[in-house]
Amino acid sequence: MPDHVIHELWELIPTVIYFVVAILLFGFSIWLMEVICPFSIRKEIEEDQNTSLGVIMGSAIIGIAIVLAAVIK
């Protein structure tokens, strides 16, 4: 393999590590939101059709993703 290809592959390793760390932090934050809430988020959204909770949770997930993207860059 040419040297520049090997160099590019070595530069890919930190990106993969950052990706894995971000996915783990993202999953942990969603788990933490479910633990902190005094009610079942899944039941409220799926069974009770609580649209406002779905919007709030979606906004929180987008906010966490933006913060993680900024921190990892």
Integer Cα distance of 30 and 42 in angstroms: 12
d(CA 36, CA 31): 9
Q: Residues 6 or more apart from 37 whose CB is under 8 A from it?
A: none
The pLDDT of residue 50 is 92
What mean pLDDT value characterizes the chain? 87
For the chain, what percent of residues have pLDDT higher than 90?
29
Residue 73 is predicted with a pLDDT of: 67
Numbers of helices and strands, H then E, in the chain: 3, 0
Tens-digit pLDDT profile for residues 16-41:
888 888 889 889 988 998 999 999 88
